[in-house]
Amino acid sequence: MQQIFYTTATPEEYHRLGENFPFPVPGSCLNPECLVKVPPQKYGFYKRNAIDANFNGRILIRRYYCKYCGKTISYLPSFCLPYFQYTIETILMALCYILDSNHSLRACLKLLKNLGWAPAHLQFYLKRFLNNQNRIKVGLRQLIPGISLPPDEHDKRKGAQKVLRIVTTGFPQIQTFQARFHKQCKYSFMAP
């Protein structure tokens, strides 16, 4: 099972520390069907890509193993979005460009030029966010009880603009949002 832990480290700093990074240490098993109060054992690392405008490399993801239930727990730093190689801030910046300021696709790609994305790449993120907006609203309602959310719109794009604004203004940082959302919903806000 995957956990997202909040960190202020940049991908570069995280990478530089390697195995010496102060990874979270669980005091008990996190599997809801186990929860044994015995710290899971260190269980090595796996590597994943992390890419933003300043960094492109493979980072270590800390793993633990619970010998009572046989589950593995991995800790993803909050700059990583599950299943995506680009960091959450990069993807959010792209979404803000294309949704919030209503730039053309071409203009957005120009703003993101050091990433070298093809139009389909940006469209993929946009489509995913547009399709996930109702699911994101469900999560936001759980995270912020009493939150006022925009009604479901016929115009998906308009609705998504409003949801994006809440995500970017309602939390101290996008990483805080993503860690809390994942903990609450058990899936990423950009999951298929």
Binding site for Zn ion (CB under 5 A): 29, 31, 34, 66, 68-69
Cβ proximity to Zn ion: between 69 and 147 the closer is 69
Cβ proximity to Zn ion: between 10 and 31 the closer is 31
Placement of tokens 């703003």 in the chain: 111
Instruction: Give kind and range of the element (H or E) at residue 3.
Output: strand 2-5
Smallest gap, in angstroms, from Cβ of residue 70 to Zn ion? 7
Token pair in block for residue 175 = 């990483």
Smallest gap, in angstroms, from Cβ of residue 68 to Zn ion? 5
Cβ proximity to Zn ion: between 69 and 138 the closer is 69
Smallest gap, in angstroms, from Cβ of residue 52 to Zn ion? 34
Smallest gap, in angstroms, from Cβ of residue 149 to Zn ion? 36
Token pair in block for residue 18 = 């390697």
Q: Which residues 6+ apart lie within 8 Å of 135 measured at CB?
A: 189
Cβ proximity to Zn ion: between 29 and 190 the closer is 29
Q: Which string of DSSP letters, residue by residue, matches 19-68?
A: GGS-----SS---TTT--SSPPEEEEEEEEEEE-SS-EEEEEEEEEE-TT
Smallest gap, in angstroms, from Cβ of residue 19 to Zn ion? 24
Whether 112 and 93 have beta carbons less than 8 Å apart is answered as yes
Token pair in block for residue 177 = 């949002």
Cβ proximity to Zn ion: between 29 and 96 the closer is 29
